[in-house]
DNA sequence: GTTCCCATGTAACCCGTTACATGATTTT
DNA sequence: AAAATCATGTAACGGGTTACATGGGAAC
C-alpha cells in the first residue's frame, strides 16, 4: 500500500502543518513547492479524496456564512506514519525537465539569425526575472531558521537559474538584436 | 491551424532529416532531445497519425522479410512550412521542472539525519553520472560543426547539472555517511 | 538450445491542465 | 454601478507513461 504517486505524498506533507481546507492546501502548494512540483488546484481535491479513502487523512464539511461551505482536512495517525515511511524509504521519482525553449533551439538551424536571436533574448529575460525572484526568496528564507530545507530547495533553483543565465550569455552571438543589452544582477 | 502541442512539432522536426520509420523516429527522439523533451514511443505513433491527418506528413506501409512490416513517414511541403512557421513564431511552451528529490528534501525536517544524508548521497551520485555523460556528449558534439545547436542544448544541460552538483556539495552536512566521499570529475 | 534483446506495434490508464460555475467582497 | 478578485468547488479533455503482444536474431 506504499506506492502512491509523489503528488499524493506532497499533499500529505503540506497537510502536516495542521488542519486545513483543501482550498488552502492548493494555495499553499502554489506558494511553497510549485517551483519544483506543481499541483493543479483540482488535483489537490482528487488527491485528498484518495487519501481519505486510504485513511491517511480525514475531512469534514464546515459551513460558513457568506462564503461557500468548505471541506477541512487533517492527517490521521496512519497518514503521519505513511508520510514518514515514504520520506525515509530510499529512492524518489526521477527529476523531469522539459523545455519548450530548448526544443526550438535544438531545431534552430533552419531559423534565420534575427529570429533566433530574438528567441534567445526572450529566454534570457525570463531567466533573469526568475533569478531575481529566487534571490529574494533565498534571502528571505535565510532569515527564518526553521525554514532550512525550504531555503535549500530555493537555493537549488537559484543556482540552476544562474547557470541558465550564464548559458544564455555564452551562446549569444555578437551583433544580434539591440534589445539584448539589459544589465544583469542589480 | 497553427497551435499544436510542442511534442507534435518536435516529431515533425525530427522527421526533417528525411524519410524514417516511426520506430526509428522514436529511437531518434530518445537519443537526441530526450534530455529536455521526452516523447514516449507510443506517443510518436499517435502524433504521426495526427500529423498525417493534418497533411503535414505522409506515411506508407513497407513490407519486410523477416522483420515485421513498418510504416515509413516523410514530411510534406505543408509540413515543412508548418515547422518553419512554428520555429519562427515568437514564444514557446514554458519550461517545466519537476523534482521528486526536492519534494523529499523540502519535507526532510522530519527525517532523521542519516536517512537524509543518504538521500543526498544518492542524488549527488546520479547528478555526477549525468555530468559525466553530458561532458562526453558536449565534447563529442564539439567535433561536429553542423551540430552547433545540438551541442548548445547539451551544454545547457551540462551547466545546469554542474550547478546541481555544486549545490549538493554546498548543502552536505559534515559528518554524514562515509559513502559520501566519491571523487568528482575524472 | 534456452534466454535475452531487437524491431515493430497497440491498448489502457492515470496524471495533470484547462475550462466552467457561483456568490461575496473589494476595487475602479 | 460595473468590473475584477477571492473563496470555494466540479467536470472534461488530452498528453504522457506503462503495460501488453510477437516473431526473429543474437548471445551465452
Question: For residue B182, is pLDDT > 60?
Answer: no
Question: For residue B97, is pLDDT > 60?
Answer: yes
Question: For residue A157, is pLDDT > 70?
Answer: yes
pLDDT band of B174, cuts 50, 70, 90: confident
| Residue of chain A with shortest Cα separation from B105 | A149
State residue B115's pLDDT score. 95
Average pLDDT over residues A134-158: 97
User: Which residues in chain A touch residue B37, judged by CB atoms under 8 angstroms apart?
Assistant: 98-100, 102-103
User: Strands A20-21, A70-75: parallel, antiparallel or unpaired by DSSP?
Assistant: antiparallel
B57-62: strand order across its sheet: B20-21, B70-75, B57-62
State residue A186's pLDDT score. 38
Comparing CA positions, the residue from B181, B153, B50 lying closest to residue A120 is: B153
Whole-number Å distance between alpha carbons of B59 and A47: 42
User: Which residues in chain B touch residue A145, judged by CB atoms under 8 angstroms apart?
Assistant: none
Q: Over the stretch B10-68, which tens digit does the pLDDT of each residue have?
A: 999 999 999 999 999 999 999 999 999 999 999 999 999 999 999 999 999 999 888 88
Cell of B182: 566519491
DSSP string for residues in A98-112: E-HHHHHHHTGGGS-
State residue B2's pLDDT score. 54
Rg of chain B over all Cα atoms, to the nearest angstrom: 21
Average pLDDT over residues A35-59: 97
B175: left (phi over 0), alpha (psi -120 to 50) or beta: left
- Exposure string of A63-99, with b = 16+ CB inside 10 Å and e = fewer, is eeeeeeebebbebbeebeebbeebbbeeebbebebbb
DSSP string for residues in A35-52: TT----HHHHHHHHHHHH
Among A13, A28, A31, A36, which would you mutate to test the B interface (most chain B Cβ atoms within 10 Å of its Cβ)?
A36
Dihedral angle at the C-alpha atoms of B95, B101, B106, B109, nearest 10 degrees? -170
pLDDT band of A2, cuts 50, 70, 90: low
pLDDT band of A173, cuts 50, 70, 90: confident
Whole-number Å distance between alpha carbons of B23 and A77: 49
DSSP string for residues in B20-67: EEHHHHHHHHHHTTTTT----HHHHHHHHHHHHHTTSEEEEEE--SSS
Do A182 and A125 touch, CB atoms closer than 8 A? yes
pLDDT band of A174, cuts 50, 70, 90: confident
State residue A29's pLDDT score. 97
Neighbours of A42 (CB within 10 A): 9
Average pLDDT over residues A12-37: 97
State residue B175's pLDDT score. 66
N-to-C CA span, chain B: 50
Average pLDDT over residues A117-145: 96
Q: Over the stretch A95-121, which tens digit does the pLDDT of each residue have?
A: 999 999 999 999 999 899 999 999 999
pLDDT band of B178, cuts 50, 70, 90: low
pLDDT band of B184, cuts 50, 70, 90: very low
Question: For residue A178, is pLDDT > 80?
Answer: no
Protein footprint of strand C, defined by Cβ closer than 7 Å to any strand atom: A 5-7, 38-43, 46, 66-68; B 21-24, 27, 41-42, 45, 64, 67-71, 96, 98
Q: Over the stretch B117-163, which tens digit does the pLDDT of each residue have?
A: 999 999 999 999 999 999 999 999 999 999 999 999 999 999 999 99
* Region of poorest pLDDT, from A61-70, A101-110, A143-152: A61-70
Comparing CA positions, the residue from A99, A47, A57 lying closest to residue A78 is: A57
What is the pTM for the complete model shown? 0.91
Which residue has cell 544524508?
Answer: B117
Amino acid at each position: 500500500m506504499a506506492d502512491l504517486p509523489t503528488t499524493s505524498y506532497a499533499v500529505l506533507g503540506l497537510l502536516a502543518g495542521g488542519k486545513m481546507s483543501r482550498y488552502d492546501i492548493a494555495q499553499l502548494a502554489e506558494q511553497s513547492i510549485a517551483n519544483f512540483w506543481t499541483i493543479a488546484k483540482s488535483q489537490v481535491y482528487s488527491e485528498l479524496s484518495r487519501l481519505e479513502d486510504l485513511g491517511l487523512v480525514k475531512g469534514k464539511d464546515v459551513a460558513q456564512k457568506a462564503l461557500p461551505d468548505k471541506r477541512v482536512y487533517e492527517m490521521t495517525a496512519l497518514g503521519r506514519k505513511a508520510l514518514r515511511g515514504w520520506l525515509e524509504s530510499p529512492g524518489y521519482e526521477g527529476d523531469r525537465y522539459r523545455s519548450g525553449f530548448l526544443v526550438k533551439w535544438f531545431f534552430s538551424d533552419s531559423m534565420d539569425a534575427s529570429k533566433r536571436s530574438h528567441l534567445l533574448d526572450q529566454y534570457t529575460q525570463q531567466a533573469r526575472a526568475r533569478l531575481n525572484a529566487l534571490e529574494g526568496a533565498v534571502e528571505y528564507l535565510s532569515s527564518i531558521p526553521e525554514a532550512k530545507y525550504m531555503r535549500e530547495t530555493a537555493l537549488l533553483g537559484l543556482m540552476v537559474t544562474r547557470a541558465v543565465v550564464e548559458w544564455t550569455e555564452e551562446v549569444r552571438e555578437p551583433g544580434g538584436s539591440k534589445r539584448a543589452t539589459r544589465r544583469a544582477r542589480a
